[in-house]
Amino acid sequence: MSFRISTDKNKLDLVLIHSFLNNHAPWAIGISVDTVETAIKNSLCFGVFIDELQIGFARLITDQATFGYLCDVFILPAHRSNGYGKQLIQHIFAMPQLKRLRRIVLVTADAHELYRLAGFESLAQPERYMEIHRPQIYQQSPKH
């Protein structure tokens, strides 16, 4: 059994990624395949594989110079509790081009301890952060 993490977008299983996000990720319920494709195209992506089977995914939206936003991180439920999520996060933050980013953010309801191991902390000054949040946008957008 061969475990690997790849940034090759051609290896990603779009059907699996869309299915997980659309059906199991509270932040992406109702997301269209087109939206997932566009997001992948414009992000640094990480596929987690056992042999040729994709079991996880993460996306980093970044200019690769100053800032990154880590999102859409998941390991399929059948493969959790095996350390794959930890290996994925370690792999992402070991990449030389990401070590120079001044700020990397993430929004998550769970796995805080995993992310703390990578250096994430709660916002020191949350009053400085603002957002435009449209939680129902995928249900309102036409699906293609």
CATH of the domain at 97: 3.40.630.30
Mean per-residue pLDDT of the chain? 93
Residue 110 lies in a domain: yes
Q: Return the DSSP state at 143.
A: P
Q: Which domain holds residue 50?
A: 3-128
Look at the chain and report how many structural domains it folds into: 1
Residue 47 lies in a domain: yes
Residue 24 lies in a domain: yes
pLDDT at 143: 53
Residue 137 lies in a domain: no
Query: What is the three-state SS of 58-97?
Result: EEEEECCCCEEEEEEEEECHHHCCCCHHHHHHHHHHHCHH
Residue 83 lies in a domain: yes
Structure confidence by residue, pLDDT tens digits, 81-137: 999 999 999 999 999 999 999 999 999 988 899 999 999 999 999 999 999 988 888
How far out from the chain centre does Cα 122 lie?
18
Residue 139 lies in a domain: no
Six token digits for residue 43: 């992000």
Whole-model pTM: value is 0.90
Residue 134 lies in a domain: no
Q: Would you tell me the crossing angle of helices 14-24 and 33-41 to the nearest 10 degrees? A: 120
